[in-house]
Structure 1
Amino acid sequence: NRRNITKKDDENMATISSGQITIVDLYDAPALNAWISANKTTTQTYNNQTKAYSPSYASSPLNLTLNLTKAGSTGSLIGSAVTGVKWTKIVGGTPTEITSTITTDTDYKGGTSNSVLTTKTNVPTDNNAILWKVEGTYTDPTTSLPITFQATINLTLVQLAKASVIAVVSTPDGDFFRNNTPASLKVTADVYKDGSISNGSRKFKWFIADSTVTTAQDTDAGVGWKKVTATTGTTGAVANSGFDTAVTTQGVLTVYPDAVTNGQTFMVVVTDNDGGTSGTKIKQYVTLKDMDDPIMTVIESNGGTVLKNGVGSVTLTARVFRNGEEIDTGGTMYTYKWTKWQDGTMNANFGGTGNAYKTGKTLSVGSADVTNSTMFKCEVNG
C-alpha cells in the first residue's frame, strides 16, 4: 500500500487524514518513519577561557541511535531486514562516512544492523555544528520490496566568551515523544556569565508558539506567543518558577505529551538580575517533536493489488490509526470519501451524476474500474 496524510478544510467539514492505494502489478511499499535519537543533549557549550566543553563527548561519548518504524505502527523494524546502514558526519559541508566498528576509534558504528553510532568528536569551534546523517535499506518481508530511508540530526555548539551573558537551552531527556512516551520532557535554561554557570539572580519567562495569539501577551515575546504561567500540573507545559520571578536556580519547563502535536516550538526569555549585567535579556528557542501521526489512514485490499486479464474484484478498506492504535473500526466516527485517479487526473464522475466521490469505509473495485494502473484515494473527514 502507498499512504499519505493531508489536512485541509472541506466545504462542510475538515479533512483530518487521507490514504491512497494504487492497483498495479506489485504491492506498493509501506511508508517508513526514520529518526535519530541521542542519549544526551545535542547542544554543547565551549568556554573560551578554560578551553573546555560541556558536556565533552571526548570524555563521555555520545550515542546516536537509528529508530525505524512503519507508519501507523509502533514496533521497531531494526533487525535483519535492515541492511546497508551508512553513517555520515558532515562538518562545514564536507561529508565523512564512518566505516569503523572499533570502539577505541573516535567515531564508530555498532549495535543491531549498525543502528548505533558512537562519537567522541566535540563540535568544532570554527563551525559550531555537526550534521549526522544515517541511511540504509529496509526489505519488506511481505512484498520483498527494498525501501530506502534516511534521517539526520544536528549537534550544535554555544561558545562562551569572557564578560558575556549567555542563555543555553537544552533538552536533557531528548526532544521527542513517541506514543506518549516518555511521560514528560524537560527543557532547561542555564545562564552563563564570564564563561561559567551563574548562581546569581535571574528571571525566566516561558512561551509556547500559538498562531491564535494575535495580540501580544508580553512585550518581550510579541504576537504568536502564548505565556506559560502554570507552575504545577500534569498536562500542557509547567515552569519550575513563576513567570518573570527572580530566582537563583536553573530554569526548567516540563512539557507533557498533550502539548506537542507533530512539532511544537517553545521560547524562553531570560533576564539577568545580578551585578553589572543586570537587565540583560536573552531569547532562546527549542522545538519538541511528536514522532507519531495523530491520525493516519491505511488503505488495505482483501485481494491484493492485482487484477489479472481484466477479471476479478477487490474490496478496499480504510483503516484509521492514532498513536499506533486502530480507531473507528465500525466506520461511524468519520466520513470516508473515495476518489479515483488515472494518470494523475481525478475522475470527476466516479460517484455518478457528476459526483467525484463515493462514500463509505469500504470500496469495491472491479476490473471495469482499473485501466493499467489506477489509484484510489480516501479522505477521512470529521
Structure 2
Amino acid sequence: MGIVSTGQFTLVDQNDAKPIMGFISAAGSTQQVYTFSNGAASFLPNWASTPLVLTAKIFVGGVDVSSDGAISGRQWSSTFNGTDLGTGATYSRNTNFTTPDTTASQVIYFRAVYTDPVTGIASRIDMSILLGVVKTGIEAVFVEISGLDVIKQADAATKNVAYIKAVLNRAGTIDGDNLQYRWYSVSSAGVETHLFGTQPNFGVKSTAIVAAPTALPAEVGNGSFTTAGATAAAAWTTAGSPGSNTLVVSENAVTNYQLFKVEIRDSSDSAKIYSSYFTLYDVTDPYLVQVASSAGDRLLNGVGSSALTPQVFKNGGLLGSLTGWTFDWYFFDKNGARAGFVASATPPTPDVERGITANTTGGVTVDAATTLAAGDLVKLVSPAGSVVKFAQVAALAAGTAVVLQTPTGDNVNCGAVSATGLVASEFVGGTLFKAVAKKTTTAGAALTLTGDDVDGKSTVKVDAIRP
C-alpha cells in the first residue's frame, strides 16, 4: 500500500489561496429513453429536435467566474484532451445516440484555464459529465448495472472491496445464456485498460441471475481472471450461464473515483456486443497525521532529546491502533534542505561519534578506531558547528582514515558531497557522526530526535503508510 498521508513537525503560514471548483450543468435530462417497437425507433427527449445544452460552471472562492475574463482556453471534447466539440462556454448536443443497442453511455469533457488576477498563476480546470440511454419496448436490449459502487479505505491490512454485477436485460427479462464478458478500467484521459490475466486489485466471479452481488477481499487477485478465461489482451471471459458477470474491485484500485466499462457478448444473438460505463467512488475520509513532541519545539544548547510520536486521525478521531502502519521520517536542516539523521540504535547515544584530527578534500582522520563500511553516510561538523556536511564512505583505512566517494541512492538526496567535496582542514577539531538518510518506525512508535541531529533549527517530516 502506498503513502496515505504525510505530516511534519514545524510551524507553517497557511496561504489564503481560493479554492477552484467546476462542474457541468445540463438544461434537461442527461439520459435518453430509446424505444424500438414494431420496427419504429424513438428517443425521449429527442436531442436532434431539442438540443441538450451543457454549461460549464466555474467557481473561485464561491464566486461564479464562468464568463469572467480570467477564464481562457475553453474546450469541449468527446475524449480527454480532445478538440472536437467546440470552444464556447456551452455545448449543444443535437444528436441522439447513434447505436443505443450497443453503446449506452458517453462522457463529455470540458477544460479551461483560470488565471488568478492577483498572482497571475494559471490553473487548468477539467470536468466531465456522463450522458446515457436506456432502452424500453418489447425489443429493447440493454446492460443493467447493480451492486456496491462506493468503497472506503480500511485502516488495517485486510482491504475492503466493491463489487458490480452487469447483466443483459432483453425485453424486460434477464438474459443469462451463453454470455461472455470483458471488463475495463478507464483513465481520466479516456484510455481503456482491459483487465485480464492475474490482476492484483481485481477479480471476476459469477453471480446467479436472481441473486444480489456480494464479494470478499479474498476474491481479488489470485488469478481469478485467468480461471475465468480472460487470459490475454482483448480476450473474453469463458462463456457461461450467466457467465463472469460480477467485477470485484479492491480499494487499492480506486482513488477518489474510478470509471469502468463492461462489454457483454451474446453468442445467441449473432455475437452482438453490448456495453455500459459505471463509476466507483472512494468515500474515505482523509487521514491526518500530527506529530507530538515530548520536549516541545526546543532543545537547549544542543543537549537533550525529544520523542516524536506520530498520531493519525480519521473522521475527526484519533486511531486507537496503528498495528501494521509504517512511518518514514525525513530530516530537513535550517535552510530547508534535506539532510540525514545521526545513527543511533540506542538513542540518545550515537552509534559512532569521533573527533576529527585532520581532513583533506577527499576524507578525514578521526581520533580513535571506528567501524564504518563502504556506502555509509557520515555527518561532519566543524568545531564551532557553523559548517555541517554529509558525505558517503568509500573505505576505512587503519580504522581511523575515512575515504569518501561519490554518493549514491538516498544519500544523494541528503546533499552528500562529492568524493572531493571537502575543504582542507575545515573540520579539524570537529566531530564525525555515522548518519542515515531516513529513519523508519512502526505501529506508532516514537522517533527520538537529539541535539546531535539539530543544528540551530530543523524540520522533521513523516510519511504515514497504511498497511
TM-score tier after normalising by the smaller chain length: 0.3 to 0.5
TM-score, length of structure 2 as denominator length: 0.40
TM-score, length of structure 1 as denominator length: 0.46
| Structure with greater Cα Rg | 2
